[in-house]
Structure 1
Amino acid sequence: MSMMEQHTGSDHDRLTAVIGMGKTGQSAAAFLLHHGLACEAFDEKRVEVPRELDMPLHIGKLKAADLQRFSRIIVSPGVNWNHPALVEARNSGVPMYGDLQLFGEQYHGNIIAVTGTNGKTTTVSLIGTLLDTLPGGIEAGGNIGTPMLDLLGDEEPARVVLELSSFQLERAAPIRPRWAALLNIQPDHADMHADAAAYRAAKLRLFANQGEGDKAMLPCDVEWDALADELRGRGVYVRRFGVGYPETMDCGVQMLPNGSWQLFWHHYEIPEFISSDELPSRGVHQHLNLAVAAQAATDFGVSISVVRQALTSFRGLPHRLQSLGIVAGREWLNDSKATNPDAAIAALKSFHQVVWICGGLRKGLDVSVLKEAVASHVEHVYIIGKDPKPFVELADAAGVPATFAKTMEQAVKLASRSQAGLSVLLSPAAASQDQFANYAERGNAFVNAVKALEAKA
């Protein structure tokens, strides 16, 4: 029985609280109102909502006592699940969910779902592009761009591809994706989950409901072998990806003796290859995402020629190892989406030597894990943000000179005077909220600072 069927009593019985009035919260409220279900909105920050969302809006500190009168609570993914008021409300028995719960109850088509710490948006975007060539097309949403409930219009799409965060997965009964991929699990969001185990458990909920005939894509690492065996025991067809060989995994990147590599995936039992030189996007980690997308598309019947054309024309997404071209005699790369150390390590390893701009809000993560990558690939470190000390200590441990530039504009100016010819990479290894609203605003500040250099040239 779905939520819509459960709540058939009086208006009071059906009253829903929606916590967090960002894009997802507004989407959930609009969905409920469209289905004739009364709701009220809560946000601790002063926000404005569209006029058509005709409902009470409560601004201010969230209190459990204010939530007791609701029959259920929908929590936006950006709101901490462990907020004291929410914990108290849950403990008192008030049902509490996220938007994925509503979506899973209402949608009846084929779900392709992707989760992971890094690479979700690139993979989902490319899957969406590729499968849109099939009859009936595909709609993309979730943690990317369009909130998933917005995909449920008057005519249900035949298939959807969802980018799912740990926050969305932990706040819903498990869905059943026909094709699901786990890209990676790396330290992140330490401030939003009880611990690393809770973060991992949230991600793995993606596979909890899969069964006979479904497909699951997992990294080709030993730590995922037990999950692979469990899924096979349920009749799931398990695929594996990584850096290796087409004889031992379904898709990934194969390193060649000359130091270059090629991307591969399988069409039935036949491996398909594309040289890294043919791919406009750069970086092994980016190409792993492309390989997963290629395999997903092929599994759903997209032709090899279409997959090849898409991969060889895909230039990547903004703020993800995005080349800004040659300015002031060097290439500039915007990787502002690298909000944790593992993402920055992957970016740094894409270069022999690079000038590195980093820093920001660490979210409790240890940046010392970057030491080897910094020592091997960085010529000079320019640090931004309000907490430079950990990055200064990292550079010192790696034996690389560092300069605290504080602001993005100053970092770009200083980097433009560094060793001639070396590329400059913004890959912060930290979140942005100490100086910017989000990673996109930070990336745009980098882009604008580089454009200012070009204007002076």
Structure 2
Amino acid sequence: MELRDKRVLVVGAGMSGMAACRHLQKKGAKVLLADNKSRKDLLKNKAVAAFVRKGGELLSDNMMPDQITWELAVASPGVPLHLPLLNMTRAENIPIIGEIELAYQEARAPFIGVTGTNGKTTTTALIGHILKKCGVDALVGGNIGQALVDIVGDFRGDYIVAELSSFQLESCIDFRPRVAVYLNLTPDHLDRHGSMESYGAAKERIFVNQEADDIAVLNADDPLVAAVAGRIKPRRLWFSLHHRPETGIYLEQDRLIYMATGEEQYSFAAADIFIQGRHNLQNAMAAFLVAAAIGLKPEKIAKAIISFRGVEHRLEYVKEEGGVIYVNDSKGTNPASTFQAIMAYEQPMILLLGGRNKGSDFTELMLLAQQRVKTAIIYGEAAGELKKAADSIGYQSYIVAGGFEDAVAQARALAQPGDVVMLSPACASWDSFNDFEQRGKKFKALISQTGGVNGG
């Protein structure tokens, strides 16, 4: 894509938007940055201030220009694609892309893309770990860590492994991963997408440009994912906890068995995998298939999987104190993710739930809590919805806390030797925190305080 002297609108001054601005300015484009914040607040951001010093222009306070002066628009992932400014752009048949599309146009290495509602970060990190352990030069990014457009230009290695959200995929045009992984689809971000059909369609865009010589790694246990198989072109590899695929990997009697054209090729013990939970077995199987698909040896792949110790904020072991295990699963931002986190432990559990709801129904989660959670401590903006769901099914073992710190304090006070105290909120963090990372770090800091969160 030729960008020199091209007039480009970037919408959203977050991490991804500013990465796009840096890239576009480096390529000689003339960039206009639009954001709903005031000009004064925007210029407090060092990245925005640097952008302006280099000749960038600002469109602040949700202002609408008198006329369109740009030839291309780049929308940040968190920006709804039907903002008035983008509707105006679309009406003039001006392309609207995202930062991932920019990165793809800049990259020289093939992509491995990972999407799904839950497990994306763990699977992406695990694929990167396997490749590096096997001597493959891999760059990991996307919805995990650094914005890809900041780093792909200088990368001359073998593969780029990208975690891809629905927000990122819906603004892709030419993006074509060599290997595309679709882990699962459960209700999430319905406040943005409006329906499961729209949400699923955004996820499915990961396959839209793939051809027959590309590879799709699919979850045979998720009917919404499995249904995609008949609509896509690439060669399909399957992973399953319950079914034996012709080509893929499955679980049988606590062993993961890798199949190719109907023949067993390799197997290893599921119990040897460090990361907890059956959902993490699925993540490990998906990562195995990616590595096998690009030609790595099964025994080396298995050894790398076994050595993987997980990702921060995903069923992260924090500490054991007084016989109580503390677990940080702040990335559990929807009920399905928290459901899987609860299932990962057999011990009595005290569960911290709350934050901002993203359009989810908590009823099924509360039915599971009724069976497996000793006490749920609910807090934050969604506390009323969580309480309503608990009351509707007769689950009474919950406490409504005064806020996040109070929730952690009450959890520590209630915990007995043999319990697991887990933060897996089933909600976004935005009512009290900038992101789930900040929430998880706060949880760990409170847990690490000597003598409990109240200091007593």
Same fold (TM over 0.5): yes
**Ranges in structure 1 where 5+ consecutive residues have no aligned partner:** none
> 1:408: which partner in 2?
404
The question of whether the paired residues in 2 share the 8 Å contact of 1:267 and 1:298 is answered with no
Deviations 1:118-167 (A, max 9, x none): 11111111111222245661111211112121233245433211111111
> 1:342: which partner in 2?
336
> 1:184: which partner in 2?
184
Candidates 235, 238, 247, aligned match of 1:237: 235
Secondary structure, aligned partner of 2:401: strand
The question of whether the paired residues in 1 share the 8 Å contact of 2:134 and 2:301 is answered with no
The question of whether the paired residues in 2 share the 8 Å contact of 1:142 and 1:148 is answered with yes
> 2:385: which partner in 1?
390
> 2:14: which partner in 1?
22
Q: Distance in 1 between matches of 2:450 and 2:336?
A: 30
- Once the two structures are superposed, the pairs formed by residues 46-445 of structure 1 within 5 Å of their partners are 46-47=41-42, 48-50=45-47, 52-53=50-51, 54-58=54-58, 60-65=60-65, 68-133=68-133, 137-154=137-154, 156-220=156-220, 221-231=222-232, 234=233, 236-246=234-244, 250-254=248-252, 256=253, 261-266=254-259, 269-352=263-346, 353-396=348-391, 397-418=393-414, 420=416, 421-445=418-442
Q: Distance in 1 between matches of 2:187 and 2:437?
A: 21
Q: Distance in 2 between matches of 1:120 and 1:382?
A: 27
For residue 148 of structure 1, what is the amino acid of its counterpart? L
Deviations 1:230-256 (A, max 9, x none): 43xx4x2211112214456622444x4
Count of residues in Structure 1 that have an aligned counterpart in Structure 2: 441
**Ranges in structure 2 where 5+ consecutive residues have no aligned partner:** none
Alpha-carbon distance change, 383 to 112 in structure 1, aligned in 2, over 3 angstroms: same
Deviations 1:31-76 (A, max 9, x none): 1122111212222233314365313342632234366121221111
For residue 31 of structure 2, what is the amino acid of its counterpart? C
For residue 34 of structure 1, what is the amino acid of its counterpart? K
Q: Distance in 2 between matches of 1:70 and 1:153?
A: 24
Alpha-carbon distance change, 66 to 328 in structure 1, aligned in 2, over 3 angstroms: farther
Deviation at 1:92?
Answer: 3.4
Deviations 1:361-411 (A, max 9, x none): 002211112132112211111011133112112333252411111322222
The question of whether the paired residues in 2 share the 8 Å contact of 1:179 and 1:214 is answered with yes
Deviation at 1:19?
Answer: 1.3
Deviations 1:281-310 (A, max 9, x none): 111112211111122112222233432332
The question of whether the paired residues in 1 share the 8 Å contact of 2:217 and 2:239 is answered with yes
Alpha-carbon distance change, 183 to 330 in structure 1, aligned in 2, over 3 angstroms: same
For residue 394 of structure 1, what is the amino acid of its counterpart? A
Deviation at 1:210?
Answer: 1.4
Q: Distance in 1 between matches of 2:198 and 2:325?
A: 40
Candidates 430, 444, 447, aligned match of 1:447: 444
Alpha-carbon distance change, 160 to 326 in structure 1, aligned in 2, over 3 angstroms: same
Question: Which of 331-340 and 239-248 deviates more?
Answer: 239-248
User: TM-score with structure 2 length normalisation?
Assistant: 0.89
| Paired-residue identity, % | 30
Q: Distance in 1 between matches of 2:67 and 2:132?
A: 42
The question of whether the paired residues in 2 share the 8 Å contact of 1:27 and 1:149 is answered with yes
For residue 94 of structure 1, what is the amino acid of its counterpart? I
Alpha-carbon distance change, 285 to 226 in structure 1, aligned in 2, over 3 angstroms: closer
Secondary structure, aligned partner of 1:17: strand
For residue 55 of structure 2, what is the amino acid of its counterpart? M
Q: Distance in 1 between matches of 2:229 and 2:245?
A: 18
Question: Which of 94-103 and 326-335 deviates more?
Answer: 94-103
What value does the CA root-mean-square deviation take over the aligned residues? 2.4
Secondary structure, aligned partner of 2:449: helix
Alpha-carbon distance change, 68 to 195 in structure 1, aligned in 2, over 3 angstroms: farther
The question of whether the paired residues in 1 share the 8 Å contact of 2:133 and 2:304 is answered with no
Candidates 13, 20, 38, aligned match of 2:30: 38
Deviation at 1:360?
Answer: 1.0
Deviation at 1:103?
Answer: 2.7
Deviation at 1:357?
Answer: 0.7
For residue 240 of structure 2, what is the amino acid of its counterpart? G
User: TM-score with structure 1 length normalisation?
Assistant: 0.89
Secondary structure, aligned partner of 1:386: coil
Q: Distance in 1 between matches of 2:238 and 2:33?
A: 42
Q: Distance in 2 between matches of 1:281 and 1:312?
A: 9
Q: Distance in 2 between matches of 1:265 and 1:417?
A: 46
